[in-house]
Structure 1
Amino acid sequence: MTEPIRVLVCDDQVLVRTGLVTIIDAQPDLEVAGECGDGRTAVDLAGRLRPDVVVMDIRMPLLDGIEATRLLAGDGVPHPVKVLVVTTFNLDEYVYEALRAGASGFLLKDAPPAQLLHGIRTVATGAALLDPEVTRQLVGRYAARIRPTGGTPQETPLTPRELEVLRLVANGLSNSEIAATLVISPETVKTFVSRILTKLQLRDRVQAVVFAYRHGLVT
């Protein structure tokens, strides 16, 4: 048997945190490594407990979830930890900044338990969790900020087909939707996405979306 995915839960609302811990601990392949109510403690515990995934709230005392995420998963962190943001705030600046800080994805607190569990497992594998519809809205709201001044497309090392896939990813399409659009298999889409991330030296799908807008590849 494989080792369970170890999860650190960080939320300043005790009832919410208890609920998350109960849901996670009930799964045979998941294990709650620890819990806390502020970002500073989350950073300290992550250093000691070495969880596979941190489930992180955004608005918390002492150190908010954005800064905690940056310390745990941001660029230059020697041993980055995968962070899944779970918040009541949909598509506001806090979520956008958390993704920029290094979070591997986000969910809303009113998401069903099955979606939370799927999110933890997805992030633990190294994939990003970015709901397609939320991606469309998020990018639509912040496109002006992400897009470079002038909006002129910049050169990339990608092939025309890879650029096509990247644009569809940036527009919020899932792998299955991209496969249907391009009339190729989902496995082929996964291969394209993997190549794109490698060539552009990006960590995950979230960074690919931001890259596409910053380089004027999406209108």
Structure 2
Amino acid sequence: MTRSTQPQPPQASEPLSNADRQALLAIANALAPLDEAAIEPLLQTITVQRLAPGEALLRAGEPGAREFFVLDGVLKSWVGDAQGREVTLAFHVGPGVLTPAIARVVNERSRVHCHALTAAVVAGFEASLLLDCMLRVPSVQRWGDAVMRAELMRRVDREWALAALPAMERLQHFRAQFPGLEARIAQHHIASYLGITPVSLSRLRAQERAAAV
């Protein structure tokens, strides 16, 4: 049966508070060292959205050339397949970053849907501002390259798991990659990410419980 989350429109954005600014910089520097002074003009443009579960951050086909930091909460990126079913592409768990715009935007429009699975706080800014800063400041370019390498490795790792691992091992791989996430979101999101049905996921969990007895 097809599930539709029907994400709701996002709440209005608000200016970046000092607390959110510090949280954002902590995320950025955890990925790669970043010169705060070099990106100060960019920081001044950042706005924050506070999303309730089910609210949309991005919709496929709509303008989406923005970069996002996930300050808190869990979001997922997904597309609809030919049968209208949701196919989960990625989970974005705060503190962290969303998939870079260059990997999810074509002709200034989003190729994917992205919505909150839990209450979430997201800080965003125009992707063109980061690109301009990367062209002018070598340290920012190195930071952007590090973010893209991390995204490439995430995608390669997932493709390998889908192609090479049996379902039980894919579940274990997911748990190692996203500690604690299994208890925070609905089963069908995880099943879609693993490339199996919710029924199959339930069976895997039942096998684990039986083996533990």
Q: TM-score, normalised by structure 1?
A: 0.29
Q: TM-score, normalised by structure 2?
A: 0.30
More strand by share: 2
- Structure number with greater CO (CA < 8 Å, separation at least 6) is 2
